Chains A and B, each alone.
Chain A
Amino acid sequence: MDFRFEVIMRYLPLLLQGMKLTFQLTITAVAIGTIIGLFVSLCRIASFKPAAWMAKGYVDFFRGTPLLVQIFLIHYGFPQLFGMNAFPAYLSGIIALSLNSGAYIAEIFRAGIQSIHRGQMEAARSLGMNYAQAMFYIILPQAFKRCIPPLGNEFIAMLKDSSLVSVIALQELMMSGRIMQGRSYRPFETWVTVAMLYLVMTLTISQFVSYLERVFGKDDHGE
């Protein structure tokens, strides 16, 4: 067996550096994606049809094309079209990941909102609340609780998919792994460590999500 622990120790700071960037990218993308997703999901169920169509077009595009294509389109495609310099890779990466996760999160919110019994909206409206008040005080708080588990899944998926931004030379965990492999010629030690570091992050997120479910889920009996 050819396994050298000291190789791992030597390159660990490099990988941890990459891990930090991966985590940053993911958190930022999911945070922006949540804002986009909330807005888009409300557009999708709006009675104003053009808003609903545009929202659907956005969701269909970002769920129906590979993330890799979206990254290239944003990093190389648009700068060419508008004759400007490419964005810094970090910015392109954030934009691509946020837009992609926004589409998935929009669908999560839409499903959550539509799972709330329509009697809730009717009760709120019959008290004289307008649509926005009913949404904000009655529907969204209930829907959000039901969205926690799928949002957790999306967070984990995004963490893994963020490895794709290594193609635009962002030195996140995946790219750091490639650098380590190139320098050390030790692919096994490299990728086993990278895998472990991804696993640490995804398991931490799972734990955090089940904690949130325990805290927020307890009063919800559904309707």
Chain B
Amino acid sequence: MITVNNLVKVFGHLEVLRGISCHIEAKEVVVIIGPSGSGKSTFLRCLNQLEKATSGEIIIDGINVTDPRTDINAVRQEVGMVFQRFNLFPHMTALQNVALAPMKVRKQPRREAEKLAMDLLERVGLQDKIHQYPEKLSGGQQQRVAIARSLAMRPKVMLFDEPTSALDPEMVGEVLEVIKSLAKEGMTMVVVSHEMGFAREVGDRVIFMDEGLIVEEGDPEQLYTNPRHQRTRLFLSKIL
């Protein structure tokens, strides 16, 4: 589903990604961990071209997204993204947040888009909040709206950038539950997250990044309990 070849990203003089290569299968759930500044967010943002790669190649569902001739808006419809800070549209209700892109991008009729939005909001457990504005929702609820908003485009891949790290601890669970249910339905997902329980339960693979490189990857059990690299061990000892 996703193939990355030797991806490099440079900001000014800072080489943030220094040659990342990996392959992610359809229906696979990949969890990315690594210290702050290691380039995890930058990597995700390159996948949907919110950041332009400096060099290297990214192929998603057979489409080379790093090719300048590719219609990036079309690719982004297939690649949903959920942000650490939710980024809901504050001037719209939950329903409007979710229904907007299907209406404007997919040109669905309003009725159809709103029906879809209601179904998705119900699915993330927010059927009684559809007419609320984001400021009236808790962090966990906002993040669930954000997930529904991405799903409304019926993406083939979902990217999550630390979806629970801006949440109060008691709200982490409700958001992870939604992400887990997506995993069970076979959504292809790349999740930056340090929630180890989550990674163990639904992750097919964990990738450890440090200083712009993939240091180690493997099965969650193996990587958490018996990491091969010193740097991985050091990092895990800090977050555990």
Contact = CB atoms under 8 A, between A and B. Distances in A.
Interface of A: 117, 119-120, 122-130, 133, 137-138, 141-142, 145, 219-223
B50 A128 contact: no
Interface bin, chain B:
20 to 34
Interface stretch (B27-35, B76-84, B108-116, B232-240): B76-84
Interface in B41-93: 48, 50, 73-74, 76-77, 79-81, 83, 85, 87-91
Contacts of B76: 125-128
A129 B83 contact: no
Contact of B50 (A126, A129, A222): A126
The 4 closest A-B pairs by CB, nearest first: A128-B77, A123-B87, A127-B101, A119-B87
Contacts of B81: 123, 126
Contacts of A130: 73
Interface string B91-115: 1000000001100110000000000
B73 A221 contact: no
B207 interface: no
By secondary structure, the B interface counts as mixed
A119 B101 contact: no
B89 A120 contact: yes
Contacts of B146: 123
B135 interface: yes
Contact of B91 (A123, A128, A141): A141
Given A128-B101, A223-B87, 14 more contacts: A117-B87, A122-B83, A122-B87, A123-B81, A123-B87, A124-B89, A125-B50, A126-B76, A126-B80, A127-B76, A127-B153, A128-B153, A129-B73, A220-B91
Contacts of A120: 87, 89
